[in-house]
Amino acid sequence: MERDATILVTGGTGLVGSAIVRILRAKGYSNVLAPARGMLDLMNVQAVREYFAAQRPAYAVLAAARVGGIAANMAHPAEFLHQNIVMQENVMWAAHQQGVRKLMFLGSNCIYPRECPQPMREEYIMTGPVEPTNEAYAIAKIAGVKLAEKIYEQYGTPFISCLPCNIYGDRDHFETERGHVIPGMLRRMHDAKRSGAPEFVIWGTGTPRREFMHADDLAEGVEFLMRVYTENRFVNIGSGEDITVGELAALIKEIVGYKGKLVFDTSKPDGMPRKLLEVSRIRALGWAPRVSLRDGIERVYRWFLENQ
Ligand SMILES: NC(=O)c1ccc[n+]([C@@H]2O[C@H](COP(=O)([O-])OP(=O)(O)OC[C@H]3O[C@@H](n4cnc5c(N)ncnc54)[C@H](OP(=O)(O)O)[C@@H]3O)[C@@H](O)[C@H]2O)c1
């Protein structure tokens, strides 16, 4: 990827996209385009085609999507399926038609089967049904990964995908409905500390294991793959380490300085017992994340305090 090439990043206002834009610019890429939704609505196929025709990006990264936690996915499955399919289709096809030389599609670890053997290897995709609570989102993401693969297979243009683990970072959604685990817990624990609440309730038993990576590491990984990766096989990208929800809550308690007691509401569902990506493919290419979970969460909490 030449430093002066035009690189389009969709979703540049989001958690992942904003990190990708920042890291690309920090690495000296001088022509990174990141149109916000108000400037380019990716649901509008005509607008997307005209944008590609006018800007002629040489490279593209698709970090725009309709994203949300369990509650949002369960409340709006039709929109999650429809909007993600349409956005990725609009962008990938316009990119293909306008001669984009390489494209990265951001998939998600939720496309693996619910009963997937752990850690989850790339070849386990589509070997069983996905988790029902995010089925619509997962089906859209599988379609996106497959569209990239088929364009690469049929036309020889490297449209590739990576599948990240749970990502956290500065511009996360700290409000509850859209919130992911780390920002949701940080926010609620911060509120519990301020109100002097004696107890902090966590859904489930606290035993499920989850894998997290800072958005800056994902952005570094995306830039790395855009430079070096040429195979038509999607790649897992994660920290390769997991932690129980209970351990995560204890770590956040320490970082926030909350003095109350952690209580597990075992009447609530746990979700999948484990969700860990097998990351040997990207490790073999010579890439590994750098931000430790403690450092990363401390950074996010500082950002939250300064920007809430
Ligand atoms: N966060 C994670 O844990 C995680 C894990 C694995 C994979 N990923 C993948 O990473 C990608 C980005 O996720 P994220 O966490 O960064 O989500 P996010 O913070 O919600 O960002 C989504 C971005 O998409 C944009 N967008 C949505 N609809 C649009 C439309 N119609 N037109 C133009 N832009 C639109 C949003 O713009 P607005 O700001 O205007 O809404 C925002 O910039 C997704 O593909 C997701 O599947 C994320």
Annotated domain spans of the chain: 6-172+211-238+274-292
Judge whether residue 177 has pLDDT over 80.
Answer: no
Q: How much is the average pLDDT of 52-57?
A: 98
pLDDT tens column, 190-230: 999 999 999 999 989 999 999 999 999 999 999 999 999 99
180 Cβ inside 6 Å of ligand 1: yes
Contact 52, 98 (CB under 8 A): yes
Q: What is the pTM of this model?
A: 0.96
Query: What are residue 264's phi and psi, to 5 degrees?
Result: -100, 125
Q: What is 6-172+211-238+274-292's CATH superfamily?
A: NAD(P)-binding Rossmann-like Domain (3.40.50.720)
Contact 107, 163 (CB under 8 A): yes
Q: How far is the CA of 193 from the centre of ligand 1 (A)?
A: 30
First to last CA, the chain: 36
42 Cβ inside 6 Å of ligand 1: yes
Judge whether residue 270 has pLDDT over 90.
Answer: no
Q: Catalytic positions, please?
A: 137
Judge whether residue 283 has pLDDT over 60.
Answer: yes
Q: How far is the CA of 52 from the centre of ligand 1 (A)?
A: 20
pLDDT tens column, 116-160: 999 999 999 999 999 998 999 999 999 999 999 999 999 999 999
